[in-house]
């Protein structure tokens, strides 16, 4: 890299490359947990259902810009990308909230 970017530990997976499966993001009720057999509980706790981190694509690291080394055009492109990423996240959160409200999740 030319000094404009450096590698950093992924903050999403903390360098592990894997995260908890989003299907389990709401957790389990105590009843659901009690209904699981011991092997299934152990698989869950050991990370058998984890999935590849979408932020770092499983590498555990991400490229971070050194903003002070970027040209004005590169800074503008970075801001545009970050705004687009934020808009996508906001839209996905809104869709998920509407689905929950409608009882689809």
Alpha helices in 1-105, H assignment, sequence order: 30-35, 38-46, 72-102
Burial class (CB in 10 A: 0-12, 13-18, 19+), 4: middle
- pLDDT 10s digits, 9-62: 999 999 999 999 988 877 888 999 999 999 999 999 999 999 999 999 999 999
CA–CA separation, 27 vs 37, rounded Å? 16
pLDDT tens-digit map of 64-96: 999 999 999 999 999 999 999 999 999 999 998
- Considering the entire predicted model, what is its pTM? 0.62
């Amino acid at each position: 890299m030319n000094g404009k970017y450096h590698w950093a530990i992924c903050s999403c997976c903390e360098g592990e490359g894997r995260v908890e499966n989003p299907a389990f993001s709401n957790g389990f009720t105590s009843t659901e947990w009690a209904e699981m057999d011991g092997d299934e509980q152990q698989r869950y706790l050991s990370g058998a259902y984890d999935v590849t981190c979408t932020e770092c694509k499983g590498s555990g690291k991400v490229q971070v810009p050194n903003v002070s080394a970027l040209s004005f055009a590169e800074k503008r492109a970075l801001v545009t990308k970050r705004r687009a990423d934020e808009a996508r996240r906001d839209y996905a959160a809104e869709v998920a909230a509407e689905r929950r409200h409608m009882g689809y999740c």
